[in-house]
Amino acid sequence: MKASWDIFCTAVDNFGDVGVTFRLARQLVAEHDMKVRLWVDDLSAFVRLCPGADAKAELQWHDGVQVCFWPGDWQPAEPADVVIEAFACRLPPAYIEAMKARNPRPLWLNLEYLSAEEWVTGCHGLPSLQSSGIQKFFFFPGFRPSTGGLLREAGLIDRRHAFEQNPTARQAFLADLGIYPQADARLISLFAYEHAGLGSWLDCLAHSQAHSSVQDAQPTHLLVPEGRIISDVERWLGVDGLRAGAVHVRGDLTIQVLPFVRQKDYDLLLWCCAFNVVRGEDSFVRGQWAGRPLIWHIYEQDDDAHWAKLDAFLELYLAGLSEDAGQSLTQVWRNWNAGQDMTQSWSALEKHRDELTRHAERWCLERALQDDLTTALVQFYRNWI
């Protein structure tokens, strides 16, 4: 008999939480034959990730997942065998009471945000007895073997390698999005939050010969999915109302605005690029599976806790890089996340293109040796039964 799973997700001000939980739900169904309900309190965010979804439907099915609207006025629902409280959201009190009355009681998991901090390894999998009398277990995604791992579908890396070796497939995908780069252009994707120093980076790309000390300076085709960074791009271009399909050329830089693509297409977009700027959690992980150098625009927290998370990841990621390349990458990431001028740090980073590309692929393959997050969750449930 299939185990049933309820995943609860609140959409805050971005798409990352919904993106992670929908990936998880799809994989539970497709690869582990589970029965999954995904409860989302704001379906408008879900619609952006899943074309064909209905923002007003109380119940709908997508990729085998039962997607349910999580209303403020909660209606009774039978709890599942496994209940996931994603990213510190709070279950409806009436649902917790139903969990308490259920026999046997469900496995209650708090799926935490991704972090490379070492303390995570000591907290992963620990139980906490709640006032309801039910134990809740804390499950931490992570980069170390002693954590829950990262979301990764079966065969993902092999599919990427096959795509990379098929120029026709790459060209067809880009053409479907209306992307026709120059033959010698470097593709870069830009999916980021607002960034006060973005103009200095765009200046570097627009004047690659002047800002680069490498001999193979080349034109850049920058692909910008619609999102929060658009206003900064508009400011640099001196235009208003950028929409999907817009193309602007400044010197060595072509900027093209793309529609907000579905998750599967976003993977292909990352695979087409030589460098990716990613944000939050979901696109950050997908950027790593792309095996390309990247900048991580981490989600800013009021207490500056994001800096500790950024530094903890860099401490792991820099292992195996030369000292110069590691210092250059660190400075670019710190400047980007502080909204500072990018001119000098980006120019220094450009000297290490080849080394960073080799390192990104190596890092990807090493992380792929660890069980993926979904498999780890299923195994945790089976061990708990």
> What confidence tens digit (pLDDT) does each residue in 302-350 have?
888 899 999 999 999 999 999 999 999 999 999 999 999 999 999 999 9
| 240 flagged as catalytic | no
Is the peptide bond between 104 and the residue preceding it cis, with omega within 30 degrees of 0?
Answer: yes
End-to-end CA separation in angstroms for the chain: 14
The model's pLDDT over 129-140, given as tens digits with 9 standing for 90+, comes to 888 889 999 999
Catalytic residue among 112, 203, 281, 355: 281
By percentage, how much of the chain surpasses pLDDT 90? 84
Contacts of residue 301, Cβ cutoff 8 Å, sequence gap at least 6: none
| Token reading at 151 | 């979301």
Cα–Cα distance, 53 to 56 (Å, whole number): 9
Catalytic residue among 6, 17, 85, 112: 17
pLDDT for position 49 = 82
Say what the pTM is. 0.95
**48 neighbors 79 (Cβ within 8 angstroms):** no
Residue linked to tokens 């994707």: 189
The model's pLDDT over 183-222, given as tens digits with 9 standing for 90+, comes to 999 999 999 999 999 999 999 999 986 555 544 578 999 9
**83 neighbors 99 (Cβ within 8 angstroms):** yes
| 13 flagged as catalytic | no
